[in-house]
A = this chain, B = another copy of it.
Amino acid sequence: MADRSKRRPGETREKLMNAALTLVGKGRHFASLGIREVTRQAGVVPTSFYRHFRSMDDLGLQLVDELGLVLRRMMREARANVLQADKLIEESVGIFVAHAQANRSFFLFMAQGLAGESRAVQEGIRSEMRFFASELANDLRRLRLMEHLSDADLDMTCDLVVRTVAFSLTDLLSISEDDDYQIGQVRKRTTQFLQMIFVGAGRWQSD
């Protein structure tokens, strides 16, 4: 009757995950979403939900996995575009901001999840951030930057950088999607933050 097209495997699963993201993108908080609401948004009958997810928390966990892919794509692009260490910070922040705009709902979900309801989602996001930080540390080593820092101190620095950027996310996501002026402000300020951190790291010595 309503099957106007053949069934693609995993299609409904995607539809459900996208539906959740869409609702988050519309300003809703993930923790307040219900199964029926999501299925409705996806144009699917409530029962279908259980074919793919055990609960909303489960859906959240699978979203975290996809979030990981988004972050990896972002890193790859950053590595490709940031060739010389000259404008390193400025360009990286630019790429980050661009990705945050392009995948707004995803990053909203991430920001929400950090203080979210599900312990598992929280831990998943935290883990993605740790991975991101460790990759950043690798890159800095590869570029022969901050060579005077011990491994532990470099990790600490990268952790601080990632946190700072993550916090900028909440700024970015709380302003209008196409307020270019404000977006520019956030980018500028974030760049300054990172510059200050790296100045500190440059002079850092363990005691």
Contact = CB atoms under 8 A, between A and B. Distances in A.
Contacts of A29: 29, 31-32, 115-117
Contacts of A126: 174
A43 interface: no
Q: Say what secondary structure dominates the interface of chain A.
A: helix
Interface in A29-77: 29, 31-32
Contacts of A122: 174
Q: How large is the interface on A (under 10, 10 to 19, 20 to 34, 35 or more residues)?
A: 35 or more
A193 B28 CA distance: 33
A17 B195 CA distance: 42
A160 B31 contact: no
Interface of A: 27-29, 31-32, 108, 111-112, 114-117, 119, 122-123, 126, 156-157, 159-160, 163-164, 166-167, 170, 173-174, 189, 192-193, 195-204
16 contacts: A27-B117, A29-B32, A29-B115, A29-B116, A29-B117, A108-B115, A111-B114, A112-B115, A114-B115, A156-B192, A156-B196, A157-B196, A163-B164, A196-B201, A200-B203, A202-B203
Given A199-B199, A200-B201, 19 more contacts: A27-B117, A28-B117, A29-B115, A111-B114, A111-B115, A115-B170, A122-B174, A123-B174, A156-B192, A156-B196, A157-B196, A167-B167, A195-B200, A196-B201, A196-B204, A197-B200, A200-B200, A200-B203, A202-B203
